[in-house]
């Protein structure tokens, strides 16, 4: 008879790690969703008492309200003496605090504001945080070590959001344009990172790419988060603007002030505008780019009153977008009150060797809830086309100018190396030249340029593409109409898989706050698959033929015999059956018990091996 304990050798133990997944379906109602599944109640021990584990998903609103954070103030007795002015979520948290946390954790790298936080390995993520966002928070007991990529589905009404496996939350019910892609975008001014400067007058802002230039634009006199997000390092300078918040994101508002002093008009520091240094990628030249096709897309909101309409050189046309002074490829103008018949319309103007080519919007343009109009200017071959949506048109209808009307004209060379100007026109005014006096050295005349016809209003989402989408219908309509139907992108938020955080940051804010839903994520159905690491413990229990030939089963003892064994135990045919295997620590404390499906007789002729596996 051998003992009942046996020590394991190093080769008898094996630990294997793998991942298991579980699919969750949660109904979120009034900002709270609790997961309930029969037979899956999770418990934990607190102070020797078994309690339920909270399996609730919470929805939050976040908001940057533009003011300095002020918490509640308390008296010495613990009562609140001053209540914080900031808005709160349904469970009493500050929307401002949630927003600041999102910004710091995921959206803004304070050391390099042109980059987002922790984006390594997720280069395909599209991260933009606006003044407001919606958040779904999944507890770790549900999401485990992370959410499985491409497993998130959020449904509310007829709208379905999914993740694309790269950290983007996609609105599958939005239709996007297809002819223009990120790969063809050569200029993309990103104003959205200015949300935390809303209603603050900014004297100067630069693209992050300009920091390395070291030319006359440095040093910076106001380092704000403004940069060009295109694929090229463009020189971008913005002066004297006010960021404003809109449904589609952040736009820049210009004051439209023009000085009567020619010297002041010649200095960019006194202007309210954006200037983009010329570059071959958007100068429409045959230098590796398609010269026959290019497209400009922007949103404009114009003030009825244009201060610069009379100073200097009275004109009915205020300059919204321009490039060049004499030979220019394109100019977008707003018709001001100097023309009572056409005031409030926009027109484009192109000049080539044969003279001016121009056209105006034939009717009042459509304006969104914030007063913005989406405009598209494209060149296809030798034709310039002007697309916009009329105020009376149904959603999806687009008015086409200079592409399908009798006013269509052909244009020739439209290239130059002048900068793009948003909010003004750069005008050539001759040359400075001093009169020669006896004994004076001759001086070379210098060209004289001035900014004038300054625009009062706001501009947002300014992009230039190599290529053009000029179809009169889908998918171009999604660029020009409201974002209830579609737009340039259907990426409306982010999924941070390892943190269990889902954010809805879309610029289509009205789409997700309309009707009975003040918060899209507050009332939705959420499906996701979690990822949970499982550690499998495997112990090989080897029993030699001469070992464990005894049993601890009390039925082998004769009743009232003083501990005498039954006769069959002492016979030569005796061999016990194994029903249970226990694992003990070095102090002989029972840690785990394994039950066999059926008893197995212990052999006296050969060794027996039992394998015990359990997950932890």
What percent of the chain is helix, strand and coil (3-state, nearest 5)? 10, 40, 50
Which pair of structure tokens corresponds to residue 202?
Answer: 């900014």
Q: What pLDDT, on a 0 to 100 scale, did the predictor assign at position 496?
A: 94
- Burial track 483-521 (b if 16+ CB lie within 10 A, e otherwise): bebbbbbbbbbbbbbebbbbbbbbbbbbbbbeeeeebbb
User: For residue 343, what are the CA distances in angstroms to 121, 399, 452?
Assistant: 51, 18, 19
Q: Distance (Å, rounded) from C-alpha 260 to C-alpha 314?
A: 12
Question: At 320, phi and psi to the nearest 5?
Answer: -90, -45
Q: What pLDDT, on a 0 to 100 scale, did the predictor assign at position 404?
A: 31
User: For residue 146, what are the CA distances in angstroms to 241, 497, 513?
Assistant: 43, 5, 29
Encode pLDDT of 82-123 as tens digits.
999 888 988 788 999 999 899 888 887 666 655 666 666 666
Q: Is the pTM of this model over 0.85?
A: no
| Best CA proximity match to 551, nearest among 573, 580, 588 | 580
Q: How many CB atoms lie within 10 A of CB 459?
A: 26
Domains and CATH numbers, the chain: 22-174+490-528 (no CATH), 176-430+445-486 (2.60.120.200), 544-615 (no CATH)
Could you say which DSSP state residue 270 is in? Answer: G
Higher pLDDT, 525 or 557: 525
Encode pLDDT of 567-602 as tens digits.
777 776 777 888 888 898 888 888 888 888 898 888
Encode pLDDT of 139-186 as tens digits.
988 898 899 999 999 999 888 999 999 999 999 988 776 667 777 788
From 200-214, 292-306, 319-333, the region with the lowest mean pLDDT: 200-214
Q: According to DSSP H, which parts of 103-143 are helical? A: 140-143
- CB-based contacts of 428, cutoff 8 Å, min separation 6: 325, 326, 447, 448, 449
On the CB side of 348, CA atoms within 13 Å amount to 26
Query: Cα 54 vs. chain centroid, distance in angstroms?
Result: 30
């Amino acid at each position: 008879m051998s003992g009942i304990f046996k020590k394991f050798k190093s080769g008898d133990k094996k630990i294997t790690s793998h991942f298991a997944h579980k699919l969750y379906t949660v109904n979120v109602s009034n900002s709270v969703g609790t997961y309930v599944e029969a037979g899956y109640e999770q418990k934990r021990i607190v102070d020797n008492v078994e309690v339920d584990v909270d399996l609730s998903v919470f929805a939050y609103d976040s908001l940057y309200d533009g003011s300095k954070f002020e918490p509640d103030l308390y008296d010495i007795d613990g009562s609140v003496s001053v209540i914080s002015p900031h808005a709160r979520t349904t469970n009493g948290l500050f929307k401002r605090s949630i927003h600041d946390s999102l910004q710091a954790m995921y959206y803004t790298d304070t050391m390099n504001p042109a980059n987002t936080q922790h984006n390594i390995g997720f280069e395909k993520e599209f991260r933009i945080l606006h003044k407001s966002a919606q958040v779904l928070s999944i507890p770790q007991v549900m999401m485990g070590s992370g959410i499985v990529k491409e497993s998130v589905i959020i449904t509310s009404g007829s709208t379905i959001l999914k993740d694309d496996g790269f950290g983007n939350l996609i609105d599958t019910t939005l239709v996007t344009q297809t002819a223009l892609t990120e790969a063809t975008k050569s200029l993309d001014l990103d104003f959205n990172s200015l949300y935390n400067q809303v209603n603050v007058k900014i004297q100067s802002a630069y693209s992050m790419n300009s920091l390395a230039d070291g030319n006359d634009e440095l040093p910076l006199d106001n380092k704000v988060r403004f940069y060009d997000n295109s694929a090229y390092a463009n020189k971008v300078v913005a002066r004297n603007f006010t960021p404003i918040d809109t449904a589609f994101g952040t736009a820049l508002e210009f004051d439209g002030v023009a000085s009567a002093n020619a010297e002041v008009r010649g200095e960019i520091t006194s202007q309210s505008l954006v200037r983009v240094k010329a570059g071959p990628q958007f100068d429409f030249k045959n230098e590796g780019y398609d010269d026959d096709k290019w497209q400009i897309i922007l949103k404009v909101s114009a003030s009825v009153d244009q201060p610069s309409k009379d100073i200097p050189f009275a004109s009915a046309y205020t300059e919204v977008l321009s490039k060049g002074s004499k030979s220019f490829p394109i100019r977008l103008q707003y018709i001001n009150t100097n023309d009572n018949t056409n005031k409030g319309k926009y027109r484009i103007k192109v000049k080539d060797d044969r003279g001016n080519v121009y056209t105006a919007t034939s009717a009042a343009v459509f304006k969104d809830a914030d007063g913005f109009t989406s405009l598209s200017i494209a060149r296809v071959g030798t034709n310039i086309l002007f697309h916009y949506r009329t105020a009376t048109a149904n959603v999806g209808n687009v008015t086409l100018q200079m592409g399908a009307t009798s006013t269509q004209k052909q244009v020739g060379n439209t290239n130059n190396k002048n900068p793009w100007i948003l909010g003004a026109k750069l005008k050539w005014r001759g040359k400075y030249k001093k009169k020669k006096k006896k004994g004076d050295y001759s001086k070379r005349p210098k060209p004289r340029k001035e900014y004038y016809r300054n625009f009062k209003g706001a501009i947002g989402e300014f992009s230039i593409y190599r290529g053009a989408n000029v179809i009169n219908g889908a998918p171009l309509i999604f660029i020009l109409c409201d974002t209830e139907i579609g737009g340039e992108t259907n990426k409306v938020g982010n999924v941070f898989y390892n943190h269990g955080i889902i954010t809805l940051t879309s610029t289509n804010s009205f789409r997700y706050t309309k009707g009975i839903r003040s918060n899209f994520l507050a009332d939705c159905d959420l499906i996701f698959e979690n990822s949970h690491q499982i550690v499998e413990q495997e112990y090989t229990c080897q029993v030699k033929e001469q070992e464990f030939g005894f049993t601890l089963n009390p039925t082998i003892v004769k009743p009232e015999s003083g501990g005498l064994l039954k006769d069959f135990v002492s016979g030569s045919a005796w061999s016990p059956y194994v029903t249970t295997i226990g694992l003990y620590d070095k102090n002989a404390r029972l840690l785990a018990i394994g039950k066999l499906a059926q008893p197995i007789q212990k052999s006296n002729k050969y060794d027996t091996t039992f394998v015990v596996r359990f997950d932890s």
